[in-house]
C-alpha cells in the first residue's frame, strides 16, 4: 500500500491503475478508522481492482471548533488498518492541499434534505460534506464510492448531489457495523466514559423497540404511526437515560427524511443524542410485516 499527500500523486496512481484495466473503488474517511470503515474497504476490495482510501479531517463540516480540535487523528494506526483491510492507496492530505489559499467554491444541496435533522442541529455541516465529497470524487476519479448507512442522511444528501451533478460514480451504501451490544461503531465512541458507554446501549435498544412497537400495533396503541412510536421512544429514553440530552428522535421517510405519519411499508427511525457530552447518531429501518 502506498500513502500519498498530493492530488497529483493520487491522479497518477489512479491513472496507472485504470491503464491496467482496474476499476477504482474509493472510501472517503476522516480517519480514526473502526470496523465500520474497514468493512467499507473490504467490500471495495471484493468489488474493485484498485482501492483508494482518503483520510482527511474536513474542517468545513465541523460546526463546533471544539469538536474539530478533539477529533482523533491516529494516522499510523489508520495506515496499518487500511493496508490490512486491502487498500492499495491512502490519500492523507494536509488542509492546504484540499483548501488552498483563495479557495472559494461550495457545493450545496439546496433542499429540505439538508435543512432538517443533522442540517438543523449542525448548520453548514452538509455544505462542508458535499463540497469535500465532490472534490474527493473528482480527485479519485473512482467508479464506486462506499459510504456507511450509519450516516443515513449524509448518504441521502450525497446521492442527491451525485444525481444532480451527473457524477459518474456509483454510490454504494453499506450496512452499519455494530458493537456486540448493538451500539453503532463510531469514531466518537472512544470519547465515552465507561459509564456513558453503558448508557449508550439505550440507543440500539430504542431502535429495536421501534420495530417491536410496529409489530405489536393494535387499534388502541396506534403504533403504526410515526409520531406515536417516536413519543413512546422519547418516554423510554427519559426513563432509561434521564441524563441524555436529545436533539431529535423521529420516524421519517427513508428517502426524503420527511416525518411520516402512517407507516404502510417501511420507515426510518433516526436519533441524535448527547450522552456524557458526546453526540451520537444512529438509525434503523423499520418494516411493516
Nearer to ligand PAF, 153 or 223 (CB): 153
Query: Is 137 one of the binding residues for ligand PAF (CB under 6 A)?
Result: no
Task: With beta carbons less than 8 A apart as the criterion, state whether 34 and 186 touch.
Answer: yes
Task: With beta carbons less than 8 A apart as the criterion, state whether 131 and 60 touch.
Answer: yes
Nearer to ligand PAF, 29 or 81 (CB): 29
Draw the binding track, 17-56, toward ligand PAF (x: CB under 6 A; -: no contact). Answer: -----------xxx--------------------------
Touching ligand PAF, residues 68-97 (CB under 6 A): none
Query: Is 139 one of the binding residues for ligand PAF (CB under 6 A)?
Result: no
Question: For residue 83, which phi and psi values (nearest 5 degrees)?
Answer: -60, -45
Among candidates 158, 256, 280, which has minimal Cα distance to 207?
280
Give the end-to-end CA distance of the chain in Å, rounded to a whole number.
46
The one catalytic residue among 34, 37, 125, 138: 37
Query: Is 58 one of the binding residues for ligand PAF (CB under 6 A)?
Result: yes
Q: How far is the CB of 85 from ligand PAF (least distance, A)?
A: 16
Q: How far is the CB of 1 from ligand PAF (least distance, A)?
A: 19
The three-state secondary structure class of 185 is coil
Nearer to ligand PAF, 151 or 224 (CB): 151
The three-state secondary structure class of 287 is strand
How many contiguous H segments (helices) and E segments (strands) does the chain have?
12, 9
Touching ligand PAF, residues 94-133 (CB under 6 A): 129, 132-133
Touching ligand PAF, residues 154-183 (CB under 6 A): 154
> HSE-up of 164 (CA within 13 Å, CB side)?
13
What value does the CA radius of gyration of the chain take, rounded to a whole number of Å? 20
Residue 37 bears catalytic tag? yes
Nearer to ligand PAF, 29 or 223 (CB): 29
Q: b/e string for 234-273 if b means 16 or more Cβ within 10 A?
A: bebbeeebeebeebbbbbbebeebeebeebeeebbbbbbb
Nearer to ligand PAF, 29 or 283 (CB): 29
Nearer to ligand PAF, 61 or 283 (CB): 61
Q: How far is the CB of 161 from ligand PAF (least distance, A)?
A: 11
Dihedral, CA of residue 230, residue 236, residue 237 and residue 238, to nearest 10: 110
Q: How far is the CB of 150 from ligand PAF (least distance, A)?
A: 9
Q: C-alpha grid cell for residue 153?
A: 442522511
Catalytic machinery residues: 37
Q: Enumerate binding residues for ligand PAF (CB under 6 A).
A: 28-30, 58, 61, 129, 132-133, 151, 154
Amino acid at each position: 500500500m502506498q500513502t500519498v499527500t498530493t492530488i497529483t500523486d493520487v491522479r497518477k496512481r489512479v491513472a496507472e491503475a485504470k491503464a491496467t484495466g482496474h476499476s477504482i473503488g474509493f472510501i472517503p474517511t476522516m480517519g480514526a478508522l473502526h470496523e465500520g470503515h474497514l468493512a467499507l474497504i473490504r467490500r471495495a476490495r471484493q468489488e474493485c481492482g484498485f482501492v483508494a482510501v482518503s483520510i482527511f479531517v474536513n474542517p468545513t463540516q465541523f460546526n463546533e471548533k471544539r469538536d474539530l480540535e478533539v477529533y482523533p487523528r491516529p494516522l499510523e494506526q489508520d495506515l496499518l488498518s487500511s493496508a490490512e483491510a486491502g487498500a492499495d492507496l491512502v490519500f492523507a492530505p494536509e488542509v492546504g492541499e484540499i483548501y488552498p489559499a483563495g479557495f472559494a467554491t461550495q457545493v450545496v444541496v439546496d433542499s429540505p434534505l439538508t435543512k432538517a435533522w443533522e442540517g438543523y442541529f449542525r448548520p453548514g455541516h452538509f455544505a462542508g460534506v458535499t463540497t469535500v465529497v465532490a472534490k474527493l470524487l473528482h480527485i479519485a476519479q473512482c467508479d464506486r464510492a462506499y459510504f456507511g448507512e450509519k450516516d443515513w442522511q449524509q448518504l441521502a444528501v450525497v446521492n442527491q448531489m451525485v444525481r444532480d451533478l451527473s457524477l459518474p460514480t456509483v454510490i454504494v451504501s453499506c450496512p452499519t457495523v455494530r458493537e456486540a451490544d448493538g451500539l453503532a461503531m463510531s469514531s466518537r465512541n472512544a470519547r465515552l466514559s465507561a459509564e456513558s458507554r453503558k448508557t449508550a446501549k439505550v440507543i440500539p435498544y430504542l431502535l429495536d423497540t421501534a420495530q417491536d412497537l410496529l409489530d405489536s400495533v393494535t387499534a388502541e396503541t396506534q403504533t403504526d404511526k410515526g409520531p406515536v412510536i417516536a413519543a413512546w421512544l422519547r418516554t423510554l429514553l427519559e426513563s432509561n437515560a434521564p441524563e441524555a440530552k436529545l436533539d431529535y428522535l423521529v420516524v421519517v421517510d427513508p428517502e426524503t427524511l420527511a416525518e411520516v405519519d402512517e407507516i404502510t411499508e417501511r420507515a426510518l427511525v433516526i436519533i441524535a443524542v448527547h450522552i456524557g457530552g458526546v453526540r451520537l447518531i444512529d438509525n434503523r429501518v423499520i418494516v411493516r410485516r
